[in-house]
Amino acid sequence: MLRKAKIGDVKQIQTLVNNYAQLGLMLPRSLNELYESVRDFYVFEENHEIMGVCALHINWENLAEIRSLAVKEEQNKRGIGLKLARACLEEAEELSIGRVFALTYEPGFFEKLGFKRVDKSLLPQKVWQDCLKCVKFPECDEEAVILELGDGED
């Protein structure tokens, strides 16, 4: 079942995200960060266990980021990540957000959803706030992808 995250999901979300963070594949998230941003998250749940998570984080008037997209390794190749990312994109459209970006090691995944690769320098400086916490900063090896959803107006 795909749904918005609830407070009771936060510890499972943290475990899933931080497992990938330990592999250097995404930023770790503290419990504090996750509780503050729980409304950003969607979860995919089966049998009361979270199999995947993804967040839509609003950066600015017309820009949002898909981040913390993680699926339990044994659940890969089931389409869970695509369902989560699509839910975030649908929410972005509902909010009239015109552009959604992601920083990723899997640009091909996002290209399936219509994203295009772009140079990271084209993203506004505001998006780099989280990057300051990354051990790889300023030598980021992720790729930037962006999807133009429209003009951001109804």
Cα 87–92–96 angle (5° rounding)? 145
Binning pLDDT at 50, 70 and 90, where does residue 154 land? Answer: very low
pTM greater than 0.75 = yes
Q: Where are the domains of the chain?
A: 2-148
How far apart are the C-alpha atoms of 144 and 119, rounded to whole Å?
Answer: 6
Q: What is the pLDDT of residues 61-118, one digit of tens each?
A: 899 999 999 999 887 788 999 999 999 999 999 999 999 999 998 999 999 999 999 9
Closest CA to 40 of 53, 52, 21, 22: 53
Residue 132 pLDDT > 60? no
Cα 24–42–100 angle (5° rounding)? 70
* List of residues 6+ apart from 32 with CB closer than 8 A: none
CATH number for the domain formed by residue range(s) 2-148: 3.40.630.30
